[in-house]
Each structure stands twice: as C-alpha cells, then as structure tokens.
C-alpha cells in the first residue's frame, strides 16, 4: 500500500475501505451493523493520489439469511444449562447439532458448509474448572459427524471412534479440565474435509478463581476453500472475511480487552495475529495465569490457541490482522474502534 503523509482523519477514513463514500456521508454516520450496501468504492470518486482502496468485497453479506452475525458471535458465550449436582458440584448441559447449510461468505456466494448450531464457527462453549459437562450432540447433517473436544477425558468421550450417523445422537460427558482456552471439532475422516467445511468452535474453561474483569471476545481464525480444491480462497475470523474491517469492533480506551484466539486453519501451516499500535500479554493455551510474552504478534499452528490481554491508550481506529499479509488481503483483517 502506498504510504500517505496525511495523518489523522483522512487516514482513518481511508482505513475504513470506502474513503470517498465516507467523506460524502460524514464519518460519524457509518453504521456498524452491516446495513451498508453501497459498493466499497466508486470509480472516479476516488481522487488520484489518495491511495488505492482497502482490499475487500463490494458489499456486506446477508447476516440474517446466514443466521448469525460475527459482530454478535464475537461476544456470545454459551455457558450451558446450569444445575447443581448432589454434593454441590455444578453440571452444565449444552446442546450441539450439526447440519448442512449454505452460508454467504462473499457477496451472493454461498459456501455449502457443515456447521454446528447453524453458525460458523460453532458456539463458544464456556465452563468453569471442575464442572461436570454434558454435551448432547445430534447429527442433523447428511454425513456422519462427531464432536472431538480438546481437554482431559476418557477415551470413549473423545469423539473419534463413536461416529454419530445422520439422525442419531450422542452425549459426551466429562470434567472441565484443565482450565484454559481449548477447541472442539468434528473428527470423522477425512478429517481435513470435515474441518474445512466448518465443523469447529472455541471451548473455554475458566480457572476456579476466575480472571480479572475485562471486555471479552472470541476470535476463531479459519480458512474458506469455497471451490474445494484443497486451497483456501479466503481467510477469516468468525466466519465472514473482512467482517470486522467493515464493522469495526467498538472498545474503550483504558479498558482491559481479552481476546480468546483459536486457530483452526486447514491446508495452510500457520496463522498469526498482529495488533496495531499496541502490545498484548499472551497466555498460550490459557493454562497459566502468568503471561509468557509481551508482544504485538503471535503465530499459531492448527489447533494452537491462546489468550491475549491489552489496553488501548489512544482513541482511534486500529487494525488487527494476520501478519501473513496474504491472509490479511484475502479476508483475515479487522479494526478496533477505540473510543475515548
């Protein structure tokens, strides 16, 4: 990208990816709910020397038809149905159902996905260390599936050999152990196909004593091989490429932000997260309460995950994206909109 010497407002507008339009509308009028349908750039309006537009699609996808909006699933945690067992132990029961669903991941383009609970990625299951968990899984897909949790559990709860045929159910029961940030995904062969089609989600086990209060969000990094040639065509966090670029995530200056970051990228070896104009404390796998690193970029292989904690000092818009810039420009990019 051509560097611009103009600071402040102009840069900020340009970052939003539809500079000329934003100037016309006034920056304050930009909606964040995905209602914008105008093309991302209007040829001719874009003044010469202003720099090229940001990468991205022409328009927003239809979140209502998709059945989920990444702006909502970002902070959506499923704590399950909570009850207390004799002896005082907490029981959490979750319902997962798999299904075949077309998801509009690019304007007008349906990705024939396999998903949990009708969304990409599946719901973020959340429990507390030591709880007893029951996950009632029903396979509503035309293909056999399972749910394989990362964590400590008996062999028959591992979701590998107990394949659930279409129309059948299975209940996984295990202890929430160890605390940290984990994930779940289908483990039916061919595995790469079942993962690339969208059967995955984040799984958080909070430590018994909890973590400091924070503005929490979950980001599941993944790829989209829309033409099924074994090569990712687009990259994203939480289902839709460029979503948080078009719909920046609002946070406040000074507040503690905690990002639960999971990588389930298929076909490519590595993924990464880079935070602009800031540094974060990194807790690999979230299994320790002491951060291992203070950095602004972290690399994860498939199924690696970790917790990020940071505060912004200055208000404004800041990018976060894979520092594998090819992934960035193919969809894995977003913005934090930091309010004073």
Partner 1 sequence: MDTPIPTPAGKPARPDLKALVLLAIPVLLLAGVIAVFLLTAGAGLNVRPVAPVEDLAFERLVLREGEIEVHVRNTGPDTLTLSSAILNETVWPFHIEPGETLPRLGRATLTFAYPWIEAEPLAIKLFTANSIPFETVIPAAAETIPSGGDAWLRFTLIGLYVGVLPVLLGIGWYPALRRMGARAFVFLMALTVGLLLFLGIDAVNESLEVAARLGRPFQGVGLVATGVLGAYLLLDAITRHQAGLGRGESDQRLRLATMIAVGIGLHNLGEGLAIGAAYRVGEAALGTFLVIGFVLQNITEGLGIIAPVVRDRPSVRRLVVLGTIGGAPAIAGAWIGGSIDSAPLAALFLAVGAGAVFEVMVEVIRLVRRQTAKEAMPLNVFAGVMAGMLLLYATGFLVK
Please give the residue ranges that form the binding site for partner 1 (CB under 8 A): 2, 17, 39-43, 46, 48, 52-53, 55-58, 106-111, 226-227, 233-234, 241-242, 326, 329-331
CB of 198 to partner 1, least distance (A): 14
Measured distance CA(340)–CA(338) in Å, rounded: 7
Closest CB to partner 1 among residues 70, 286: 70
CB of 229 to partner 1, least distance (A): 8
CB of 82 to partner 1, least distance (A): 41
| Centroid of chain to Cα 36 | 22
Measured distance CA(325)–CA(160) in Å, rounded: 35
Closest CB to partner 1 among residues 40, 205: 40
CB of 186 to partner 1, least distance (A): 21
**Exposure letters 117-128 (e unless 16+ CB within 10 A, then b):** bbbbbbbbbbbb
Closest CB to partner 1 among residues 46, 323: 46
Closest CB to partner 1 among residues 203, 242: 242
DSSP string, 293-323: EEESEEEEETT-EEEEEE--SS-EEEEEE-S
Distant-in-sequence contacts of 209-213, Cβ < 8 A, 24+ apart: 211/258, 211/289, 212/256, 213/256
> Which residues fall within 8 angstroms of residue 165, CB to CB, at 6 or more apart?
139, 144
Closest CB to partner 1 among residues 40, 218: 40
Residue 90 and residue 84 in contact, taking contact as beta carbons nearer than 8 Å = yes
CB of 2 to partner 1, least distance (A): 7
> Which phi and psi (to 5°) does residue 108 adopt?
75, -5
Closest CB to partner 1 among residues 100, 329: 329
CB of 34 to partner 1, least distance (A): 16
């Amino acid at each position: 990208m051509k560097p611009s010497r103009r600071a402040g407002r102009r840069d900020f507008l340009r970052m939003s990816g539809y500079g000329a339009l934003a100037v016309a509308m006034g920056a304050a009028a930009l909606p964040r709910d995905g209602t914008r349908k105008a093309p991302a750039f209007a040829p001719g309006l874009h003044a010469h020397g202003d720099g090229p537009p940001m990468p991205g699609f022409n328009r927003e996808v239809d979140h209502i038809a998709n059945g989920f909006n990444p702006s909502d699933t970002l902070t959506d945690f499923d704590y399950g149905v909570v009850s207390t067992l004799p002896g005082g132990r907490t029981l959490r029961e979750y319902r997962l159902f798999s299904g075949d669903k077309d998801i509009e991941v690019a304007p007008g383009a349906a990705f024939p996905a396999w998903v949990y609970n009708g969304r990409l990625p599946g719901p973020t299951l959340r429990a507390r260390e030591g709880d007893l968990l029951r996950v009632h899984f029903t396979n509503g897909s035309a293909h056999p599936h399972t749910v394989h949790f990362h964590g400590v559990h008996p062999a028959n709860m591992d979701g590998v050999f107990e394949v659930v045929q279409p129309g059948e159910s299975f209940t996984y029961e295990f202890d929430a152990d160890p605390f940290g940030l984990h994930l779940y995904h289908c483990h039916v062969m061919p595995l790469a196909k079942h993962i690339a089609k969208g059967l995955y989600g984040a799984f958080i086990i909070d430590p018994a004593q909890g973590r400091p209060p924070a503005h929490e969000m979950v980001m599941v990094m993944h790829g989209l091989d829309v033409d099924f040639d074994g090569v990712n065509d687009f990259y994203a966090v939480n289902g839709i490429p460029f979503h948080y670029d078009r719909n920046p995530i609002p946070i406040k200056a000074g507040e503690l932000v905690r990002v639960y970051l999971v990588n389930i990228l298929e076909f490519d070896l590595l993924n990464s997260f880079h935070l602009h104009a800031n540094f974060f404390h990194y807790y690999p796998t979230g299994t320790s309460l002491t951060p291992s690193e203070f950095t602004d970029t972290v690399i994860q292989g498939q199924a690696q995950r970790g917790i990020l904690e940071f505060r912004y000092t200055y208000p404004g818009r800041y990018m976060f994206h894979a520092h594998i810039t090819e992934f960035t420009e193919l969809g894995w990019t977003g913005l934090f909109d930091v309010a004073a």
